[in-house]
Amino acid sequence: AQSVAQPEDQVNVAEGNPLTVKCTYSVSGNPYLFWYVQYPNRGLQFLLKYITGDNLVKGSYGFEAEFNKSQTSFHLKKPSALVSDSALYFCAVSARKDSNYQLIWGAGTKLIIKP
Amino acid sequence: DTGVSQDPRHKITKRGQNVTFRCDPISEHNRLYWYRQTLGQGPEFLTYFQNEAQLEKSRLLSDRFSAERPKGSFSTLEIQRTEQGDSAMYLCASSLGTLETEAFFGQGTRLTVV
Protein backbone atom coordinates (compact mmCIF):
# COMPACT_ATOMS: atom_id res chain seq x y z
CA ALA A 1 0.00 0.00 0.00
CA GLN A 2 1.15 3.50 -0.75
CA SER A 3 1.94 5.49 2.37
CA VAL A 4 3.72 8.45 3.91
CA ALA A 5 5.35 8.30 7.32
CA GLN A 6 6.40 11.11 9.62
CA PRO A 7 8.18 9.19 12.37
CA GLU A 8 8.26 12.02 14.91
CA ASP A 9 5.07 13.29 16.52
CA GLN A 10 6.96 16.30 17.88
CA VAL A 11 10.31 17.97 17.29
CA ASN A 12 11.79 20.47 19.75
CA VAL A 13 14.50 22.87 18.61
CA ALA A 14 16.10 25.89 20.20
CA GLU A 15 15.76 29.15 18.31
CA GLY A 16 18.69 29.73 15.98
CA ASN A 17 19.52 26.03 15.67
CA PRO A 18 18.99 24.05 12.48
CA LEU A 19 15.84 21.98 12.28
CA THR A 20 14.87 18.80 10.44
CA VAL A 21 11.40 17.29 10.15
CA LYS A 22 11.49 13.79 8.72
CA CYS A 23 9.31 12.21 6.05
CA THR A 24 9.58 8.87 4.29
CA TYR A 25 7.28 7.48 1.63
CA SER A 26 6.32 4.28 -0.10
CA VAL A 27 4.73 4.70 -3.51
CA SER A 28 4.91 3.01 -6.87
CA GLY A 29 6.33 5.04 -9.72
CA ASN A 30 7.88 8.46 -9.48
CA PRO A 31 6.73 10.39 -6.43
CA TYR A 32 5.70 14.01 -6.33
CA LEU A 33 6.36 15.23 -2.81
CA PHE A 34 4.98 18.17 -0.88
CA TRP A 35 5.36 19.89 2.47
CA TYR A 36 2.58 21.91 4.06
CA VAL A 37 2.47 23.93 7.29
CA GLN A 38 -0.52 24.56 9.51
CA TYR A 39 -0.60 27.32 12.09
CA PRO A 40 -3.16 27.12 14.95
CA ASN A 41 -6.77 27.39 13.79
CA ARG A 42 -5.72 27.88 10.19
CA GLY A 43 -5.87 25.88 6.99
CA LEU A 44 -2.83 24.23 5.50
CA GLN A 45 -0.33 26.32 3.57
CA PHE A 46 1.88 24.97 0.82
CA LEU A 47 5.61 25.24 1.59
CA LEU A 48 7.46 23.47 -1.20
CA LYS A 49 7.43 20.52 -3.56
CA TYR A 50 9.72 18.13 -5.38
CA ILE A 51 8.76 17.13 -8.90
CA THR A 52 12.02 16.40 -10.68
CA GLY A 53 15.54 17.74 -11.05
CA ASP A 54 17.70 19.05 -8.22
CA ASN A 55 17.25 16.97 -5.07
CA LEU A 56 17.36 20.07 -2.87
CA VAL A 57 14.28 22.23 -3.25
CA LYS A 58 13.73 25.60 -1.66
CA GLY A 59 10.42 26.94 -0.49
CA SER A 60 8.69 29.58 1.56
CA TYR A 61 9.93 31.10 4.83
CA GLY A 62 13.50 29.86 4.32
CA PHE A 63 12.58 26.17 4.35
CA GLU A 64 14.16 23.61 2.08
CA ALA A 65 13.78 19.88 1.62
CA GLU A 66 16.06 17.16 0.37
CA PHE A 67 14.77 14.36 -1.81
CA ASN A 68 16.66 11.09 -1.38
CA LYS A 69 15.47 8.41 -3.77
CA SER A 70 17.51 5.57 -2.33
CA GLN A 71 16.22 6.24 1.18
CA THR A 72 12.73 7.20 -0.06
CA SER A 73 12.88 10.27 2.12
CA PHE A 74 11.96 13.93 1.78
CA HIS A 75 13.12 15.65 4.97
CA LEU A 76 12.24 19.27 5.64
CA LYS A 77 15.06 21.50 6.84
CA LYS A 78 15.86 25.03 7.88
CA PRO A 79 19.34 26.31 8.78
CA SER A 80 18.22 28.58 11.62
CA ALA A 81 14.88 28.10 13.37
CA LEU A 82 12.59 30.94 14.42
CA VAL A 83 10.01 30.86 17.20
CA SER A 84 7.44 31.72 14.54
CA ASP A 85 8.20 28.43 12.78
CA SER A 86 6.34 26.61 15.55
CA ALA A 87 3.45 24.85 13.82
CA LEU A 88 2.21 21.53 12.49
CA TYR A 89 4.03 20.23 9.43
CA PHE A 90 2.59 17.73 7.00
CA CYS A 91 4.32 15.75 4.30
CA ALA A 92 2.25 14.53 1.34
CA VAL A 93 2.87 12.56 -1.82
CA SER A 94 0.94 12.63 -5.06
CA ALA A 95 0.77 9.15 -6.52
CA ARG A 96 -1.04 7.31 -9.28
CA LYS A 97 -4.18 5.42 -8.31
CA ASP A 98 -5.86 3.46 -11.06
CA SER A 99 -6.34 5.90 -13.93
CA ASN A 100 -6.17 8.88 -11.64
CA TYR A 101 -4.03 10.10 -8.78
CA GLN A 102 -4.39 10.78 -5.09
CA LEU A 103 -2.75 12.81 -2.37
CA ILE A 104 -1.47 10.70 0.50
CA TRP A 105 -0.80 12.52 3.77
CA GLY A 106 1.52 11.91 6.67
CA ALA A 107 0.14 12.19 10.21
CA GLY A 108 1.96 15.44 10.86
CA THR A 109 4.82 16.59 13.08
CA LYS A 110 4.45 19.29 15.68
CA LEU A 111 7.46 21.59 15.59
CA ILE A 112 8.19 23.58 18.73
CA ILE A 113 10.87 26.24 18.61
CA LYS A 114 11.95 27.42 22.05
CA PRO A 115 13.40 30.91 22.57
CA ASP B 1 -8.96 35.87 -6.74
CA THR B 2 -8.04 35.71 -3.09
CA GLY B 3 -7.76 31.94 -2.77
CA VAL B 4 -10.04 29.22 -1.48
CA SER B 5 -12.82 30.50 0.73
CA GLN B 6 -15.06 28.54 3.04
CA ASP B 7 -18.28 29.55 4.71
CA PRO B 8 -19.10 29.58 7.54
CA ARG B 9 -15.86 29.64 9.54
CA HIS B 10 -17.59 28.28 12.61
CA LYS B 11 -20.80 26.33 13.10
CA ILE B 12 -22.35 25.16 16.33
CA THR B 13 -25.32 22.87 15.93
CA LYS B 14 -27.43 20.58 18.03
CA ARG B 15 -27.16 16.85 17.56
CA GLY B 16 -29.60 15.63 14.94
CA GLN B 17 -29.65 18.84 12.93
CA ASN B 18 -28.47 19.13 9.34
CA VAL B 19 -25.63 21.44 8.37
CA THR B 20 -24.27 22.61 5.03
CA PHE B 21 -20.87 24.08 4.30
CA ARG B 22 -19.78 25.93 1.21
CA CYS B 23 -16.42 26.09 -0.54
CA ASP B 24 -15.40 28.46 -3.31
CA PRO B 25 -12.21 27.22 -4.97
CA ILE B 26 -9.66 29.21 -6.92
CA SER B 27 -11.46 29.95 -10.16
CA GLU B 28 -9.21 28.15 -12.64
CA HIS B 29 -8.84 25.03 -10.48
CA ASN B 30 -10.73 22.00 -11.75
CA ARG B 31 -10.08 19.72 -8.78
CA LEU B 32 -11.74 20.25 -5.41
CA TYR B 33 -11.18 18.23 -2.23
CA TRP B 34 -12.98 17.93 1.06
CA TYR B 35 -11.07 16.82 4.14
CA ARG B 36 -11.90 16.43 7.80
CA GLN B 37 -9.35 17.18 10.48
CA THR B 38 -9.50 16.61 14.22
CA LEU B 39 -7.20 18.27 16.71
CA GLY B 40 -3.54 17.39 16.19
CA GLN B 41 -4.26 14.98 13.35
CA GLY B 42 -3.59 15.08 9.65
CA PRO B 43 -6.24 15.76 7.01
CA GLU B 44 -8.63 12.83 6.54
CA PHE B 45 -9.80 12.52 2.95
CA LEU B 46 -13.56 12.68 2.44
CA THR B 47 -14.17 13.19 -1.26
CA TYR B 48 -12.99 15.00 -4.34
CA PHE B 49 -14.34 16.40 -7.58
CA GLN B 50 -12.81 16.82 -10.99
CA ASN B 51 -14.89 19.64 -12.41
CA GLU B 52 -18.48 18.66 -11.54
CA ALA B 53 -17.83 14.92 -11.32
CA GLN B 54 -17.39 13.36 -7.90
CA LEU B 55 -14.62 10.87 -8.60
CA GLU B 56 -13.96 9.35 -5.22
CA LYS B 57 -15.64 9.14 -1.87
CA SER B 58 -13.95 7.82 1.25
CA ARG B 59 -15.30 4.62 2.73
CA LEU B 60 -15.22 6.48 6.03
CA LEU B 61 -17.93 8.78 4.74
CA SER B 62 -21.29 7.61 5.95
CA ASP B 63 -24.54 8.03 4.06
CA ARG B 64 -25.23 11.08 6.19
CA PHE B 65 -22.57 12.98 4.25
CA SER B 66 -23.16 14.28 0.75
CA ALA B 67 -21.22 16.67 -1.42
CA GLU B 68 -22.04 18.44 -4.64
CA ARG B 69 -20.23 20.64 -7.09
CA PRO B 70 -22.81 21.90 -9.58
CA LYS B 71 -21.35 23.45 -12.72
CA GLY B 72 -17.86 22.61 -11.51
CA SER B 73 -17.48 25.80 -9.51
CA PHE B 74 -18.35 26.05 -5.80
CA SER B 75 -19.04 22.97 -3.73
CA THR B 76 -21.26 22.17 -0.77
CA LEU B 77 -20.84 19.53 1.89
CA GLU B 78 -23.96 18.53 3.79
CA ILE B 79 -24.09 16.49 6.95
CA GLN B 80 -27.47 15.16 7.90
CA ARG B 81 -28.54 14.16 11.42
CA THR B 82 -25.29 15.39 12.94
CA GLU B 83 -23.62 13.41 15.70
CA GLN B 84 -21.11 14.55 18.30
CA GLY B 85 -18.44 12.55 16.47
CA ASP B 86 -18.87 14.84 13.48
CA SER B 87 -17.28 17.68 15.44
CA ALA B 88 -14.13 18.56 13.53
CA MET B 89 -12.54 21.06 11.17
CA TYR B 90 -13.76 20.58 7.60
CA LEU B 91 -11.19 21.67 5.06
CA CYS B 92 -11.66 22.39 1.40
CA ALA B 93 -8.80 22.51 -1.08
CA SER B 94 -8.48 23.04 -4.80
CA SER B 95 -5.80 22.41 -7.39
CA LEU B 96 -5.17 22.48 -11.10
CA GLY B 97 -5.76 18.76 -11.11
CA THR B 98 -2.47 17.33 -12.25
CA LEU B 99 -0.13 14.97 -10.49
CA GLU B 100 2.49 17.60 -9.79
CA THR B 101 0.41 20.60 -8.74
CA GLU B 102 -0.06 21.57 -5.14
CA ALA B 103 -3.40 21.99 -3.43
CA PHE B 104 -4.49 25.28 -1.92
CA PHE B 105 -6.53 25.11 1.23
CA GLY B 106 -9.25 27.28 2.65
CA GLN B 107 -9.33 28.36 6.29
CA GLY B 108 -11.72 25.58 7.15
CA THR B 109 -15.11 25.36 8.83
CA ARG B 110 -15.03 24.32 12.46
CA LEU B 111 -18.11 22.29 13.34
CA THR B 112 -19.14 21.73 16.93
CA VAL B 113 -22.06 19.40 17.58
CA VAL B 114 -23.57 19.80 21.04
A88: chain B residues, CB-CB within 8 Å = 40
Q: Do B43 and A94 touch (CB under 8 A)?
A: no
Give B18 to chain A, closest Cα distance, Å: 24
Taking the Cβ of residue A28 and every Cβ of chain B, the question of whether any pair is shorter than 8 Å is answered with no
CA atoms within 13 Å, Cβ hemisphere of B91: 23
Partner residue facing A49 (CB), from B102, B106, B110: B102
Give A46 to chain B, closest Cα distance, Å: 7
- DSSP conformation letters of chain B: ----EEE-SEEEE-TT--EEEEEE--TT--EEEEEEE-TT---EEEEEEETTEEEEE-TT--TTEEEE-GGGS-EEEEE-S--GGG-EEEEEEEE-SSTTPPPEE---EEEEE-
Give A3 to chain B, closest Cα distance, Å: 13
Regions of chain A short of the pLDDT cut 70 = 98-100
d(CA B19, CA B23): 14
Which pLDDT score, from 0 to 100, does residue A87 have? 96
Which pLDDT score, from 0 to 100, does residue A94 have? 87
Q: What is the per-residue pLDDT across B47-98, written as a single tens digit (0 to 9) for each?
A: 999 999 998 888 877 899 999 999 889 999 999 999 999 999 999 999 997 7
d(CA B7, CA B88): 15
Q: Do B102 and A46 touch (CB under 8 A)?
A: yes
B55: chain A residues, CB-CB within 8 Å = 100
Taking the Cβ of residue A39 and every Cβ of chain B, the question of whether any pair is shorter than 8 Å is answered with no
B45: chain A residues, CB-CB within 8 Å = 102-103, 105
Q: What is the per-residue pLDDT across A66-94, written as a single tens digit (0 to 9) for each?
A: 999 999 999 999 999 999 999 999 999 98
Which pLDDT score, from 0 to 100, does residue A99 have? 65
Q: Do A105 and B42 touch (CB under 8 A)?
A: yes
Residue A80 DSSP label: S
Which pLDDT score, from 0 to 100, does residue B80 have? 97
Which pLDDT score, from 0 to 100, does residue A95 have? 79
Mean pLDDT of B1-16: 92
Mutant choice from B51, B102, B104, B111 vs A, greatest count of A C-beta within 10 A: B102
Q: Do B40 and A108 touch (CB under 8 A)?
A: yes
